[in-house]
Chains A and B, each alone.
Chain A
Amino acid sequence: MASQTNFEGLVHKVLHEPGFWSKLKSDPEGALKAHGFHPTPAQVAALKSLDYNSIRGVAQAFNGPAQGTIC
């Protein structure tokens, strides 16, 4: 679909830019085209079914303050 570098950049945006993942959910085709990706209708449908909140929840869990569970 696009180069590996672009793909990594896209993934970074999904994880860290709330505006981008909102757009990816509501208008996947438009959001991806702006980054050089040209999704098929099947991909667009699949993207709409993803739970972006849970993906961002992971990024936030790893980015929060140190857990400090230990001595």
Chain B
Amino acid sequence: MRQALAISGGPDAVADFSLHHRVAASIEKLRNRLHTELPELGQDVSTWMDAIAPGGEAANYLSDPLMFPIVQLPAWLLQSLTGSADAGFLSDVTYSTVSGYYHVRLMDNIQDGHATVEGKLLPAAGLLEQQFRGVYEKYFSSQHPFWEHFERFWQATSASVEKEALLREMSLDDFREIAADKYAAAKIPMAAAAFHSGHAASLPLWFRFCDELARATQLLDDLLDWQDDLRAERCTYYLSHILGCKEGHESPESYVFREGFFWGLQQLRAQTILIGDLALELNCGDLIHYLDQREATLRLQLIPIQQGLEHYRQLRQILGGS
């Protein structure tokens, strides 16, 4: 997947600057850093980075069209606001983002019960956070307004995990706040790109887009992972709806098959329309292309589910169930 950006450094630089290349180079740099700084633990962290990627390769996972586009967002912002991008700056920001991603993922897996080896890897959290933060120290002095954004978004991401863990039932307002805050750290590289290019005034609309995309991403995740969430007793907006709306005698699964999944799809569709409208306002060709690609990928995943549910509905009708 190539990013159609005007990169300083000529056509060869452009060819080398695909999203996958940028992510793979950052991951490699991070692995090297881990091995150097944490000789005892580095290999384990490196192995874990691949292990948590569904396809077994970290770089592919972070470039996947259904992943939240944490790496792409600052590049899109630069493309839209300046028509070009500084390759060195984007490489640095990608490295920071990749490091920050693994820090958040490490803490999140421990908090939400997905942890396998993460407890043992906890001593690496400090190094990951330092790699995330350190890049920006190169570009912004300690008094620069960028740091207010950094602290606010970084704090919001950490606090959202705790806030979610304390809930037993999630309202729509809770969901909107927690989903946006979970991804708030993605706004840090966006803020960096905007300040670095002198376009900080454009940030509010980009931040709003990021929040709404975060909600769409979380809805999708909750819609597909509801069984896993139920087993692990996690609290999500979708699960709260299921448990609140099912009949007394009915299993959560039966309600999802009968009605709940379609309800979830409706919420997802409304959110998808909203992010599409915002993307048009942002006027970024690559972002719109990404959303089209994301929707097509999603459709391929959701259509068989919808078809199966239609047959299930017929089965219930034939058998005389409600």
Contacts and interface: CB of A to CB of B under 8 A. Distances in A.
Chain A complexes with chain B? yes
Interface of A: 1, 4-5, 7-8, 10-12, 14-15, 32, 37, 39, 43, 46-47, 50-52, 54-59, 61-63, 65-71
Nearest to A67: B224
A71 B251 contact: no
A55 B311 contact: yes
Q: Which one of B221, B224, B228, B312 has the greatest number of beta carbons of chain A within 10 Å?
A: B312
Nearest to A69: B66
B304 interface: yes
Given A37-B319, A55-B311, A58-B257, A8 B54 contact: no
A61 to B, nearest CB: 6
B315 A55 contact: yes
Contacts of A71: 68, 70, 101, 104-105, 108, 182-183, 185-186
List 5 tightest A-B contacts by C-beta distance, closest first: A58-B308, A54-B308, A67-B224, A1-B320, A66-B228
A42 B47 CA distance: 57
A22 to B, nearest CB: 15
Q: Which one of B251, B309, B311 has the greatest number of beta carbons of chain A within 10 Å?
A: B311
Interface residues of B, number: 47
B319 to A, nearest CB: 6
Contact of A47 (B54, B220, B318): B318
Contact of B52 (A46, A67, A68): A68
Given A68-B52, A69-B217, 10 more contacts: A8-B251, A32-B319, A54-B308, A55-B311, A55-B312, A56-B308, A57-B305, A58-B304, A67-B225, A70-B218
B321 interface: yes
A8 B225 contact: no
Contacts of A10: 319
B250 A43 contact: no
A67 B251 CA distance: 22
Contacts of A14: 315
B307 interface: yes
A6 to B, nearest CB: 10
Nearest to B108: A71
B308 A55 contact: yes
Interface string B247-290: 00111011011000000000000000000000000000000000
B68 A70 contact: yes
13 contacts: A8-B254, A12-B251, A15-B257, A43-B318, A54-B308, A57-B304, A61-B224, A62-B256, A68-B52, A68-B225, A70-B68, A70-B217, A71-B101
B316 interface: yes
A61 B70 CA distance: 26
Contacts of B249: 4-5, 8
A14 B318 CA distance: 14
Contacts of A32: 319
A56 B305 CA distance: 10
Contacts of B132: none
A43 to B, nearest CB: 5
A15 B253 CA distance: 10
A62 B224 CA distance: 6
Given A54-B304, A54-B311, A55-B311, A63 B319 contact: no
